[in-house]
Amino acid sequence: MLSLDLHPLFRNNRDIELALRQFVFRAHQSGEPVVEIIPGKGTGQLRNRVLTFLGQKHIRKLYDRVEVSEANTGRVLVHFTPR
């Protein structure tokens, strides 16, 4: 499973946006059914930023659904439609 840990980038909005964009496009191209984005637990601001990014219309077209792990709220799973 592909995974992106955002802990080292949490303060730089431009780096977060770029990392998310590259990761989602790479995951879409790879054919992985599920990938993991780790914003961390914290206050939830970074998770909300990730969910907002994933909710953009042009990004939304690339994946099937998003799931915030119930067991670990610091983990976002992105499900892709199998090719």
pLDDT of residue 36: 97
pLDDT in tens, 51-73: 999 999 999 999 999 999 888 98
Does pTM top 0.85 for this prediction? yes
Which residue ranges make up each domain of the chain?
3-79
At the topology level, CATH places domain 3-79 in Ribosomal Protein S8; Chain: A, domain 1 (3.30.1370)
pLDDT in tens, 1-52: 999 999 888 778 899 999 999 999 999 999 999 999 999 988 889 999 999 9
**Distances from the Cα of 31 to the Cαs of 9, 46, 57, in angstroms?**
26, 26, 20
